């Protein structure tokens, strides 16, 4: 399963305006995890201690998807159907441009 992670795509964009589009997802960059296999060539952020601990000691959950709530938190989902609903709830302004619709 490809990573398909919007934040990695955003990291590879030169002038991101806050609205990720299907056209952005088609742009070939080393950070576009919709087009490349595996991880991007570099980290896309500097992790804090909590992130490092979470990577070393992951929670026992079956989440595959996440979407930003636009308040600094995220909604996690286990199924594509749940994820699509979260996108609808939290990302209505980009709903039509979301690649999984």
- Dihedral, CA atoms, 13, 17, 20, 21, nearest 10 degrees? -100
Give the number of residues written for the chain: 101
- The string of pLDDT tens digits covering residues 1-25 is 789 999 999 999 998 988 888 899 9
Domains of the chain (ranges; CATH) run 1-40 (no CATH), 56-101 (3.30.160.60)
- The string of pLDDT tens digits covering residues 31-86 is 999 999 999 999 888 889 998 999 899 999 999 999 999 888 999 999 999 999 99
Q: What is the pTM of this model?
A: 0.66
């Amino acid at each position: 399963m490809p990573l398909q992670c919007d934040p990695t795509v955003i990291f590879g964009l030169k002038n991101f305006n806050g609205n990720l589009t299907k056209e952005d997802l088609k742009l070939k960059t080393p950070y576009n995890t919709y087009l490349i296999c595996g991880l991007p060539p570099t980290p896309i952020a500097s992790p804090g201690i909590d992130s490092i601990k979470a990577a070393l000691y992951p929670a026992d959950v079956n989440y595959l998807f996440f979407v930003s709530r636009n308040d600094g938190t995220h909604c996690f989902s286990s199924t594509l159907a749940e994820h699509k609903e979260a996108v609808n709830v939290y990302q209505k302004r980009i709903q039509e441009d979301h690649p999984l619709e």
